[in-house]
């Protein structure tokens, strides 16, 4: 699945842009696309407040921040994504909440939106 299949919303959200960027195969070996740090503060999934930071290099990334009522830590490796989440005032668990294969970014987007909207109300 290529990143063009992720473009389903008219209004682009910050998290969707992150996923598109880190799953774009043209960015992996292009040193001009590596990011030491990027801060995103925007609406996600049309109406959820968010603020997160991420780094990207050689096909791996690390994201930390919040979307909606949930805090997220997401590690991306060449194999996939490891997702940790908790409520805004809670500590992260040492256990992975969910993992996704790299070629399934739409499932990651759906899961993060579901958690951000419904899990920590």
For the segment 109-121, the average pLDDT, to the nearest whole number, is: 89
Q: How many CB atoms lie within 10 A of CB 87?
A: 13
* pLDDT per position as a tens digit, 24-38: 988 888 888 888 888
Q: Is residue 46 part of a domain?
A: yes
How many domains, the chain? Answer: 1
Q: Is residue 1 part of a domain?
A: no
Residue 14 lies in domain: 9-119
Distance of CA 11 to the CA centre of its chain: 17
Comparison of pLDDT for 46 and 101, the residue scoring more = 101
Q: Is residue 78 part of a domain?
A: yes
User: For position 121, what pLDDT does the model report?
Assistant: 64
Q: Is residue 2 part of a domain?
A: no
CA distance 84 to 112: 10
Confidence of residue 59 (pLDDT cuts 50, 70, 90): confident
| pTM for the model | 0.85
Q: Is residue 4 part of a domain?
A: no
Q: Token pair of 88, please?
A: 């805004």
């Amino acid at each position: 699945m290529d990143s063009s299949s992720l473009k389903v919303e008219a209004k682009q959200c910050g998290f969707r842009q992150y996923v598109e960027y880190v799953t774009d195969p043209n960015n992996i070996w292009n040193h001009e696309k590596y990011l030491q740090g990027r801060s995103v503060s925007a609406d996600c999934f049309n109406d959820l407040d968010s603020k997160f930071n991420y780094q990207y290099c050689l096909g791996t990334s690390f994201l930390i921040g919040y979307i909606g009522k949930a805090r997220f830590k997401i590690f991306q490796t060449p194999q996939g994504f490891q997702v940790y989440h908790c409520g805004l005032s809670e500590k992260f668990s040492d256990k992975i909440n969910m993992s996704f294969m790299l070629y399934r970014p739409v499932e990651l987007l759906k899961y993060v939106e579901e958690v951000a909207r419904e899990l920590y109300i």
